Structure 1
Amino acid sequence: MRPIPGPKRSALLAVLTAALLPVAWLSTSGGVAEAAGPHVLLVGTYKGIHGGYRTIQGAVNAAHPGDWILVAPGDYKERQDYTVPSWPSGVWIGKPGLHLRGMNRNTVIVDGTKPGAPTCSSKASDQDLGPSGQGRNGIEVYSKNFSANNVSIENLTVCNFETSTGGANGNQIWWNGGDGGGVIGLSGYTGNYLTATSTYSNGVNYPAGSYGIFSSDSTHGSWNYDYASNMSDSSFYIGACQQRCDVVMNHAHGQFSALCLSSTNAGGYLLVENTECDLNKTGLVSNSQNNDDWPSPQIGLCSSDPKEPQTGATGTKSCTVWMNNYIHDNNNPNVPGNGVSGLAGGGPVGTGMIFAGTEYSTMYHNLVTNNGAWGILVADLPDQESGPANCQGGTWVPAPAGVCYWQAFGNVSLDNQLQNNGFFGNPSNGDIGLATIAHNPGNCFAGDQDPVGGATTQSTDPAGLETNPIYAPTANMCTTPNSGDMAVLGSQALCDTQLVAPCPTLNTLCVYNPNLPCIPAPGFPVNYPRPGTILLSMPPAQTSMANPCAGVPSNAWCKTTTNTSPETPTRMALPAGWAAMVAGAWLVNGRLRRRIAS
């Protein structure tokens, strides 16, 4: 959900100054491995052995396609954007096949604060908004026209690359296939053992970190064991990939952001699994949107292209699937961007998983607990933006409304485990809400349980979503016409989001307009929390790669070539007392892991 398009970048070539250094000097300095084949460029000093480069960008400039760049522990104040301001990123990668890897996830830090500032400082005076205040991105892989395919970034931390005061940039790690171009320009990307965060935001306003780990206009991706937090839009973003996303996000964790995952105009094979979202304003979100992440809409059906996967993870033609995730305690209004950053800022606080204007997607075997508004919300989406492909796939409702209306249909909720959702206590709050006008097909629900491991949930609006045959799927696809509750639930969802107009509560009106009183209007609920004080901090240490030399050609830091893979950490722990009840729910057959080259 991106309210502000990023700047368009020209396809210039990087200045390869370091590549002109004599090869003999590089080999003796530890800068490049002596063996034939891919070279290994070393940044910093590791275990007393000096690499040939002091900056990551210097190594990137010197590298050739297929090379490895290893980075020693240190605080790297990368400032490539001060050399080439048209590329507003600390590290800019524009060539294919590079492998960038830190030697320790928690102590290799790419830091957006000013030179001389403490590592990832939270002080306003230490923040760096770029050479012209345009905002900054951290590590950006720019690949218009497939110029930087197959770049991997692993085992490091990126922090405090902030937006401009107007909200531009602010992405910590970004695979950018040509932002705003409406076509996919990057094929193949990997992000493993990454941490992305920011310790600063201007309250709910900009500057702030915008996205943690981000891909747009890109396909054939894989993210594993990543963590992101403190973002004004979302911890993770996958979007603008039409029905060709072909990406797996596995064992991720997102906290303290407006959204845990934002997935806009994305579809085809897109699998989010074994991921935890907690302490955000809102958890997982999929949506259509009339913005520069065109073409819209979001379509979860498998692509018609025979080179793309033809079956989703549940064995149906629904290729966009969220399964085996743990979505809990997303009730936090005190996050950057709340009420400010477009649709993400307006995401309904207290909601675990949302399909908004989404088509033919599946929620399966997720554990969804302790979300105060709704555990699961499937809703139509009125979008007030005007995008490059104006309202493609939606219905334009002219003035005075002036919105692109996206219907949600063909979606399925299967065998999810729900408990203690809806405790805000407003009308319609509960485990599952469906706020849609009539459509054929509609949206379907089956096997969702509350309490965990117990009976079919009765906490739904409309009532009977799990038992009324008009909401029953056929072979795990939705084929029947139906509609939801656009009266009470529709108004409650809008009240929670404040997308169309402020919903009066005890503290809402005066927060958004100091000339209005902080008095609830009669008949309106007062139980959707609104933002107060925003306090951000560095996350705790995350699991690092057990062997950062795995798969790397022999070099001064990794003496022997190894093809072994890093260890696989165990799956996240379930809450105490629930493991026995849901043990069987985590076993899923037929997962599709195909990676198909363009």
Structure 2
Amino acid sequence: MKNKHLTCLAGIVLAAATGLSVAAPSSSAAVAGGHVVRPGESIQKAVDAARPGDTIVVLPGTYRESVLITKPGLTLLGTGSRTVIRPGAATGNVCATAGNGICVLGASGKPVDDVSIRSLTVSGFKKNGVWSSWTDRLTVRKVTSTNNGTWGIGQERSTRGEFLHNTARENGDAGIFLANTVDAEAGATDTLGAEIRDNTLTGNRIGVTARRVRNLTVQDNLMTGNCSGVFVVGDESRPRAGAMTIQDNRIIANNKFCPANPRLSAIQGTGIVLTGSEDTTVRSNLIRNNVGSTPLSGGIVLVKSFVGAPNTGNSITDNVVEDNQPADLADRDTGTGNTFVRNQCGTSEPAGMC
């Protein structure tokens, strides 16, 4: 979009966010290459009218609908906590039917490229707050996703996603969830450098779940009050999950209790768990006061995957891991090539790793 278009839209959003009077156009009206949606109007109608590359500005208000995006290059831009999307009628587009708030959906061989979702709140959906499948370079920035039934922000079958400066709290499963696929068995997806950075993840089952994916970074996030901070899930499939970096996160007091389910034991007091991962780097994280008594409890924990696949070749280095129970570092696996070096910790399983 041309600079003058961005300037015009930025002015509208700034005026709305600061309470200044602005003569916004009527429903879904085009404004210098963009669209403005006001309370009582339909976000979906604006999305349907937009062309690739357009921006949809959603003014302060509560919008009761689900939003489906299938066009490349669109930006959905709210005004932070004042733009709220909540469930409406569970009919209409496939996003609403599935119980999701905002969906970005492509297809096999035809990913949706360069969509951006920014500065809004998605809350109370039966399934996921923000969900995407078959996308490339999706950006989710400064989104608050709360009290959704499964994932706060989730993605599958996608590459080069960026999840930056978001808040995900009190969601039924993970605050942020990246996976190869959720409806079939397959080897790990190479995300081509997906990034989960500077997010605040609280009160979820798990802060970040990376399930059967490779080549991504989880960095500079705050995770507290979840059952577990980070959960890396792999198995015996090829390619293996892993080849990721988890660094510079603050993972503190994730002591919520989550009961067992058919695939996992109960979770409580868990900082970072690696299951069936290979060649993952865990470094320079602050992991404190994660306390529990489940098989997954501890500061940094390595365990076999659900199907018994071991962790191999992972590096746990330069972390501050303190006051976690039953141990700061726990290698409860039989995999090979996993190294624990220069970590500041008090207790380990087996002894001698601190």
**1:461-482 alpha-carbon deviations (Å, 9 max, x no partner):** 111124xxxxxxxxxxxxxxxx
Q: Which residue of 1 aligns with 2:50?
A: 63
Q: Which residue of 1 aligns with 2:16?
A: none
Q: Aligned pair 1:244/2:191, yes or no?
A: yes
Distance apart, 1:27 and its partner CA: 7.7
Matching residue within 191, 200, 210 for 1:253: 200
Give the partner amino acid of 1:158.
Answer: V
Q: Which residue of 2 aligns with 1:434?
A: 331
SS class of match (2:232): strand
Distance apart, 1:239 and its partner CA: 1.7
Q: Compare 236-245 and 247-256 and name the one that shifted more.
A: 236-245
SS class of match (1:244): strand
Alignment of 1:149-228 (within 5 A): 149-162=113-126, 170-177=127-134, 186-198=135-147, 209-228=149-168
Distance apart, 1:405 and its partner CA: 2.2
**1:227-267 alpha-carbon deviations (Å, 9 max, x no partner):** 10122221111121622341111110111111111100111
1:94–1:147 Cα contact (<8 Å) kept: no
Matching residue within 41, 63, 80 for 1:105: 80
Q: Which runs of 5+ in 2 are unaligned?
A: 1-23, 181-187, 292-296
Structure-2 separation of matches of 1:154 and 1:280: 24
Q: Compare 242-251 and 149-158 and name the one that shifted more.
A: 242-251
2:36–2:56 Cα contact (<8 Å) kept: yes
Distance apart, 1:134 and its partner CA: 6.0
Distance apart, 1:146 and its partner CA: 2.9
Q: Which residue of 2 aligns with 1:571?
A: none
1:278–1:328 Cα contact (<8 Å) kept: yes
Give the partner amino acid of 2:352.
Answer: G
Distance apart, 1:330 and its partner CA: 0.7
SS class of match (1:59): helix
Give the partner amino acid of 1:67.
Answer: D
Greater per-residue strand proportion: 2
Q: Aligned pair 1:358/2:277, yes or no?
A: yes
Q: Aligned pair 1:276/2:200, yes or no?
A: no
Matching residue within 30, 33, 45 for 2:31: 33
Distance apart, 1:28 and its partner CA: 7.8
Count of paired positions: 317
SS class of match (2:145): strand
Structure-2 separation of matches of 1:213 and 1:195: 9
Q: Aligned pair 1:136/2:99, yes or no?
A: yes
Q: Which residue of 1 aligns with 2:3?
A: none
**1:347-394 alpha-carbon deviations (Å, 9 max, x no partner):** 53111111111111011100000001311101111x3xxxxxxxxxxx
SS class of match (1:249): strand
SS class of match (1:354): strand
Q: Which residue of 2 aligns with 1:266?
A: 213
**1:124-183 alpha-carbon deviations (Å, 9 max, x no partner):** xxxx69999964011000011334211000000001110xxxxxxx01101211xxxxxx
Q: Aligned pair 1:339/2:288, yes or no?
A: no
2:319–2:342 Cα contact (<8 Å) kept: yes
Give the partner amino acid of 2:329.
Answer: I
Q: Which residue of 2 aligns with 1:349?
A: 268
Give the partner amino acid of 2:250.
Answer: Y
Distance apart, 1:297 and its partner CA: 2.9
Q: Which residue of 2 aligns with 1:286?
A: 232
Give the partner amino acid of 2:174.
Answer: S
Larger radius of gyration: 1
Distance apart, 1:296 and its partner CA: 5.5
Structure-2 separation of matches of 1:430 and 1:221: 34
1:358–1:409 Cα contact (<8 Å) kept: yes
Q: Aligned pair 1:415/2:318, yes or no?
A: yes
Q: Whose relative contact order is higher, 1 or 2, with alpha carbons under 8 Å and at least 6 apart?
A: 1
Structure-2 separation of matches of 1:29 and 1:54: 6
User: TM-score scaled to structure 2, two decimals?
Assistant: 0.83
SS class of match (2:190): coil
Change (3 A) 1:339 1:91: same
Matching residue within 299, 306, 310 for 2:242: 299
Distance apart, 1:29 and its partner CA: 6.9
2:28–2:45 Cα contact (<8 Å) kept: no
Structure-2 separation of matches of 1:146 and 1:248: 22
Q: Which runs of 5+ in 1 are unaligned?
A: 1-25, 46-52, 79-89, 116-127, 163-169, 178-185, 199-207, 301-319, 384-403, 423-428, 451-456, 467-598
SS class of match (1:61): helix
Change (3 A) 1:245 1:175: farther
Give the partner amino acid of 2:70.
Answer: G
Change (3 A) 1:299 1:419: closer
Q: Aligned pair 1:449/2:340, yes or no?
A: no
